[in-house]
Amino acid sequence: MRVKVIGQPDRLNVADNEVWELKTYRYSCNRDRQLVAGQFQAMFYCWLTGLNDYQVHLYNAVSRRMEEKIEGHFNLRVLRKQIDWAIELQNLALIRSRAAMAALQAAQVA
């Protein structure tokens, strides 16, 4: 499987051995999703850069203020689990899209 990394960390704080990731959200229902994505991205960037710690900063675009800062430490075991989970989701999406395409083709033939 080939992987293409697009993007970069929002900030590398080499002096403190940290990766900083900023995630913006508008609605509280998206906050948790952005936090999970930010932690995954920050941990992935830790792995790429060799830095040990990360911070995820959550910015609320509606109130126009920084709402929260979550700090964490790189953990290879957790990163591997997250990558496996992402690959599984990707495969499920691929299976669904193939099934939908087959159903569409079958409907067109009928």
Residue 43 lies in a domain: yes
What is the residue range of 100's domain?
75-110
Report the domain count for the chain: 2
Confidence category of residue 18, pLDDT binned at 50, 70, 90: very high
Reading the block at residue 3, the tokens are 């992987």
The reply to whether 24 and 66 lie within a common domain is: yes
Confidence category of residue 52, pLDDT binned at 50, 70, 90: very high
The reply to whether 66 and 79 lie within a common domain is: no
CB-based burial of residue 4 (10 Å sphere; 0-12 exposed, 13-18 middle, 19+ buried)? exposed
The reply to whether 39 and 54 lie within a common domain is: yes
109 three-class SS: helix
**Phi, psi of 106, deg, nearest 5:** -65, -40
pLDDT value at residue 3? 65
3 three-class SS: coil
Mean pLDDT along residues 21-50: 93
∠ CA 43-67-35, nearest 5°, is: 30
